[in-house]
Structure 1
Amino acid sequence: MNFHGTDMRQKALTLLRDGAKNADVARKLNVPAGTISYWKHMDRAKRGECPGKHDPSCPRCHGRELEEPAYSYLLGLYLGDGHISHYSGHRVPNLMITCAESWPGLMDDCERAMRAVFPDNSVCRVRKTGCRNVKVYSKHLHCLFPQHGLGKKHNRAIALEAWQQEIVDAHPWEFIRGLIHSDGCRITNWTTRLVGGLRKRYEYPRYLFANKSDDIRKLFTDTLDKVGVEWTTLARGSDPFNISVARKASVALMDDHVGPKY
């Protein structure tokens, strides 16, 4: 994958602001047309311009009320198993969340959240081997998910904007639930102990969250801290990708607000 620096982006924006077409700029600078479209959209959004006259209203561009609990949950899903793509066959980018077939309830929750956040847009499910992609199309995806960018999430900085952090602070459990539903799970561990000379088996539940992005893991653990959940980092080899919640009181809190996938 090619990464384009700030100078290249500025050259493209200068040409676009002068009235050049996206395709002409893409050919001139040898940059993918989708990247040019994304740069143009973000530039127009920063300047307060609307991306389209007939596009449904956007909470960021037009001030439409945003369903914040649903958005906090959807943001967690997006940071885990979601991405925004713009295929050449479609005029509008789509947000896609990949859900395993074994968790039909998760797919239902994801679809409900998408419909609540994008009430004027259609939502669909696309069947794949062992999973389904829950998708919504909107020209305003980049407005609501500014973390989108070139490359994989763990190879670039991920930070919430101030308005997103306010929503997560107001609805932390929905955000945690979205992250667990994407890159986490609830499992039952077991161990044995000698009691009165006899070895007995003990089982205990635990929540695990795994993500390669240091920034996303920190967003998760910072939110756990705010709701009073104790956590530890489990290193797999030298990679500290796993966050564990195993203390009884913290697991009980997670069970009350998150629960296992279903």
Structure 2
Amino acid sequence: MYDLSTRKRALALVTQGRSLNSVSRETGISRAAIRAWLERLEPLPRMDPADPGPPACERSYSYLLGLYLGDGCISAHPRGTGYYLRIACANAWPGLIRQCQEAITHVRPGLGVYALQKEGYKMVTSYSRHWPTLFPQHGPGKKHERRIALASWQQAIVDAYPWAFIRGLIHSDGCRITNWTTRLVAGEYKRYEYPRYFFTNTSTDIIRLFTAALDRVGVKWKSLNQNRAAVTISVARKASVALMDAHVGPKY
């Protein structure tokens, strides 16, 4: 058994971005115990006691909003003391995990942020009493089963920083790929590559928010015909791909 101060110290180290292995070595506490405290939704040592108001950094908020709409959720603490913001980030993209953590700290300076390793991905998590205020899209059930609309103050931020919003959505439910083909030129086959961006989501409301942001920055897009519930948006025109490369780029 470990006392409360020991648990808080271990959790504080995790919120600083330390791995479970390094925290275990420093504290002598098993990785299994630390993981169990996290999975039981142990309240983090640092949390905001009063409503801190608007996002501290609107650009970072616009990016974080895109991540949340794609791969995020908010869940209440079992004892009703606050909420956990969770963003799922694939292990394949360590840069994305870091950017997600940085965005949270820029939006709410002083809050603890930790990444809990799952199978194939990390759940970037932060605890606060006020996450539902910053993300009023939070609600029961899956996002695609309820209406998703931005509050007026959120729309103002997205309008001011549309590229950050687009980047967050691509980093969550989108990708940049490179297609290729060969052509016969002067008797020789030459390989030609052409990059494209895709964004896929099952919520028509989130698709609409994404395409509206693309329209705002002048990116041409089209919806692909698919025999499934999800909708995929493709950006393939050369000029539009160049714009996306300049402001979004591939995951890393």
What TM-score bracket applies, with the shorter chain setting the length?
0.7 to 0.9
Do the aligned residues in 2 keep the contact of 1:73 with 1:175 (CA within 8 Å)?
Answer: yes
User: Does 2:49 match 1:55?
Assistant: yes
User: Does 2:123 match 1:129?
Assistant: no
Q: Identify the range of structure 1 (115-124 vs 104-113) with the bigger mean alpha-carbon deviation.
A: 115-124
Do the aligned residues in 1 keep the contact of 2:220 with 2:237 (CA within 8 Å)?
Answer: yes
**Counterpart among 219, 225, 245 of residue 229 in structure 1:** 219
**Counterpart among 129, 153, 161 of residue 171 in structure 1:** 161
What percentage of residue pairs aligned between the two structures are identical?
A: 59
Do the aligned residues in 1 keep the contact of 2:197 with 2:235 (CA within 8 Å)?
Answer: yes
Do the aligned residues in 2 keep the contact of 1:56 with 1:120 (CA within 8 Å)?
Answer: no
2:21 is aligned to: none
The alpha carbon displacement at 1:200 in A equals: 4.1
Do the aligned residues in 1 keep the contact of 2:56 with 2:109 (CA within 8 Å)?
Answer: no
1:250 is aligned to: 240
2:138 is aligned to: 148
Pairing of 1:82-101 with structure 2 (within 5 A): 82-88=72-78, 91-101=81-91
Mapped to 2, the partners of 1:96 and 1:79 lie a distance apart of 11
The alpha carbon displacement at 1:234 in A equals: 1.0
The alpha carbon displacement at 1:195 in A equals: 4.1
Q: Normalized against structure 2, the TM-score is what? A: 0.77
1:38 is aligned to: none
The alpha carbon displacement at 1:261 in A equals: 0.3
Mapped to 1, the partners of 2:213 and 2:135 lie a distance apart of 19
Mapped to 2, the partners of 1:223 and 1:254 lie a distance apart of 12
Q: Normalized against structure 1, the TM-score is what? A: 0.74
2:59 is aligned to: 69
Mapped to 2, the partners of 1:240 and 1:84 lie a distance apart of 22
Mapped to 2, the partners of 1:147 and 1:239 lie a distance apart of 21
Mapped to 2, the partners of 1:154 and 1:88 lie a distance apart of 25
1:48 is aligned to: none
1:229-258 CA-to-partner distances (Å, cap 9, x unmatched) read 011111222546100111111111111100
2:206 is aligned to: 216
Do the aligned residues in 2 keep the contact of 1:234 with 1:240 (CA within 8 Å)?
Answer: no
The alpha carbon displacement at 1:129 in A equals: 1.0
User: Does 2:99 match 1:106?
Assistant: no
Mapped to 2, the partners of 1:240 and 1:70 lie a distance apart of 27
Alignment gaps of 5+ in structure 1:
1-53
1:189 is aligned to: 179
> What's the RMSD between the two structures over aligned residues?
1.7
Q: Which amino acid aligns with 2:110?
A: D
The alpha carbon displacement at 1:196 in A equals: 5.1
Mapped to 1, the partners of 2:205 and 2:74 lie a distance apart of 19
1:29-73 CA-to-partner distances (Å, cap 9, x unmatched) read xxxxxxxxxxxxxxxxxxxxxxxxx7144215xxxx631000000
The alpha carbon displacement at 1:197 in A equals: 6.2
Alignment gaps of 5+ in structure 2:
1-47
Do the aligned residues in 2 keep the contact of 1:76 with 1:182 (CA within 8 Å)?
Answer: yes
Mapped to 2, the partners of 1:223 and 1:124 lie a distance apart of 30
2:129 is aligned to: 139
Mapped to 1, the partners of 2:135 and 2:229 lie a distance apart of 28
